[in-house]
Amino acid sequence: MTIHWGMIGTGDVTELKSGPAFSKIDGSVLHAVANRTPEKAKDYARRHCIARYYPDPMDVIRDPEVDVVYVATPPDVHSDYALACIEAGKPVYLEKPMARTFAECQLINDAASKAGVKVWVAYYRRSLEYFLKVKELIGEGTLGRIKDLRMEQLFPARHEDLAPGKHPWRVIPEISGGGYFHDMGCHALDIVFDIFGDPQKVEGMSQNLGKLYEADDTVDAIISLPGDVALKANWSFVAREGKDRVEILGKNGNLSFSIFSFEPIRLSLSSEEKSYDFERPAHIQQDHIQSIVDELHGRGLCPSTGENAATTSLVMDHLCS
């Protein structure tokens, strides 16, 4: 049986990261797309050889041949489309973050639970070989007892951030839920929770240091994880220089890796140094989408669910309150 996907939204994320992958997986095809601007829907369908296109996103959900819907819109409408999919009895795959707030995530999860409908979220690092290797190295216990976990995610301001009145939706809180932290920091939090377990205590704060836009641009956090592991993290989106590094300090050595840049994973022990290189996939969501297709075919599970995605949103709410 072939899984027929419907996609709402045709933005940048769908051009390479996700869109082409749906039809490159056995037993899967991207069947219909929608954009509120009809010309964009038509153009996307033409360029990507998709059978149907709609100007009304609800028509994707109503299409009787669509089995599962991918919502690739800004977060402000995630809950609306997710609830419509659930009401129609169709599983839904949401771009990250799952929604603007934990409350919206819970609304989706409660409806899905009552209806018995699956919800997945695009925290695709959980399915990437790079991060599976990090998880494997930690699980082997080579580092010994983990003493500390440090993360720095530093990014200079973008050109578009400097243009008042033309800011991207990602820094407009009523659309995105916050700023770049909600758009990018969520990936870092989610993969740490996947590797180490759900957070037990969250402390921290957010600030708007650059004053370039309404959203906060700097976040500091101390998060208690299972096994007495403390994550000490800093995010800045107005930094002078970029930095993307996670360092795990263990009794027997250290392990370092990146969240976005695919720098080699480096394992440093008293007796040896090892480096693990991985190429960035052409379609970075493909392995994750594969896990959804496998689950729909009854031969596996997608690791990113509405429930664990809501945990990440709860932590972001706490840090940015």
Three-state secondary structure of 205-231: EEECCCCCCCCCCEEEEEEEECCCEEE
pLDDT higher than threshold 90 for residue 164: no
| Token pair in block for residue 101 | 């707030």
- Each domain of the chain, given as residue ranges in start order, spans 3-124+286-303, 129-280
33-53: pLDDT as tens digits: 999 999 999 999 999 999 999
**pLDDT-derived band of residue 165, with 50, 70 and 90 as boundaries?**
confident
Exposure string of 285-305, with b = 16+ CB inside 10 Å and e = fewer, is: bbbbbbbbbbbbeeeeebbbb
CATH classification of 3-124+286-303, choosing from 1.20.58.340, 3.40.50.720, 3.40.50.1980, 3.40.47.10? 3.40.50.720
- Under 8 Å CB-to-CB from 187, ≥6 apart: which residues? 96, 123, 125, 259, 260
Q: What is the share, in percent, of the chain residues with pLDDT greater than 90?
A: 97
Predicted local distance difference test score (pLDDT) of residue 270: 86
Q: Report angle CA 191, 196, 201 to the nearest 5 degrees.
A: 100
pTM for the full model?
0.97
Predicted local distance difference test score (pLDDT) of residue 271: 82
DSSP assignment string, 157-215: PPGGGGSTT---GGG-HHHHSSSHIIIIIHHHHHHHHHHH-S-SEEEEEEE--S-SSSS
**Are 3-124+286-303 and 129-280 the same fold in CATH?**
no
67-91: pLDDT as tens digits: 999 999 999 999 999 999 999 999 9
Q: For the residues 203-228, what does the mean pLDDT come to?
A: 97
Predicted local distance difference test score (pLDDT) of residue 243: 98
Four-CA torsion 104, 124, 176, 11, nearest 10 degrees: -120
Contact 102, 317 (CB under 8 A): yes
Superfamily of domain 129-280: Dihydrodipicolinate Reductase; domain 2 (3.30.360.10)
Which pairing describes strands 243-250 and 201-207: parallel, antiparallel, or unpaired? unpaired
Q: Strand, helix or coil at 297? A: coil
Q: Strand, helix or coil at 256? A: strand
Q: What is the share, in percent, of the chain residues with pLDDT greater than 70?
A: 100
Predicted local distance difference test score (pLDDT) of residue 320: 96
Q: Which amino acid is at 176?
A: S
